[in-house]
Amino acid sequence: MIGLKQGDSGEKVAYLQELLIAAGHLDKNPGADGEYGTETTEAVRKARAAQGSTKPGTPITGTAGGQVMKEFVEKVAGVK
């Protein structure tokens, strides 16, 4: 999932969407369609904000960066 962003598509995006749905940040309808559009971007922003993934003065973006999303996946999956 490292470096996924709006405009990307495919299996990795669908997996990210499934995680976001499971965490309650993305609506189940239309679900994990594998297209990283505006809804997925907003869901990533919500997920990042919910986990406090920002440094003071740094904006929360809708990009699914490596370390941030690794921590998110671990949190959703309940593993560390």
pTM, rounded to two decimals: 0.75
pLDDT at 79: 61
- Alpha-carbon distance 37 to 57, whole Å? 26
Is the distance from CB of 49 to CB of 20 less than 8 angstroms? no
pLDDT at 10: 93
**pLDDT, tens digit only, all 80 positions of the chain:** 467 899 999 998 898 898 888 888 898 887 899 999 999 999 888 887 877 666 666 677 777 776 666 666 777 777 65
